[in-house]
Amino acid sequence: MKYTKEHEWLRVEGDLVVVGITEHAATQLGDVVFVELPETETMVAEGDEVCVIESVKAASDILAPLDGEIVEVNTKLVDKPALVNEDPMGDAWFFKMKIDDLAALDDYMDEDEYADFIG
């Protein structure tokens, strides 16, 4: 698993990259009450706003960590946004994307580096 400075986690499943937010991010957000997911078959560039998360404390964007195509979204989050707080590193993934080069993940932090980053 890899991690971004925006507190997203990235997990490779075959030729896809699954994207979610870390437990640290979910804790900082507080109780999530709304999730807006992207459309599938959407091409995104690294840094594009892809999802919106609203909690009782704030609204936050999830940015595309890589260039690619959104191929699947986790519709469970629309009906049960609290899943983000309950299982941020597992069932509460946001989207899956197809990217051209999985080696691009090498630029992101591993678990130890992310632990140091959040202190």
Residue 119 domain-assigned (yes or no)? no
Residue 72 domain-assigned (yes or no)? yes
Residue ranges making up the domain that contains 64 = 2-113
Residue 78 domain-assigned (yes or no)? yes
Q: Which of 72, 91, 119, 80 is nearest to 21 (CA)?
A: 91
Q: For the segment 38-88, what is each residue's pLDDT rounded down to a tens digit?
A: 999 999 999 999 999 999 988 999 999 999 999 999 999 999 999 999 999
pTM: 0.94
pLDDT at 70: 98
| CATH number of domain containing 76 | 2.40.50.100
Distant-in-sequence contacts of 45-53, Cβ < 8 A, 24+ apart: 50/19, 50/94, 50/95, 51/94, 51/95, 53/21, 53/29, 53/81, 53/84
Spatial separation of the C-alpha atoms in residues 98 and 53, rounded to whole Å: 22
Residue 118 domain-assigned (yes or no)? no
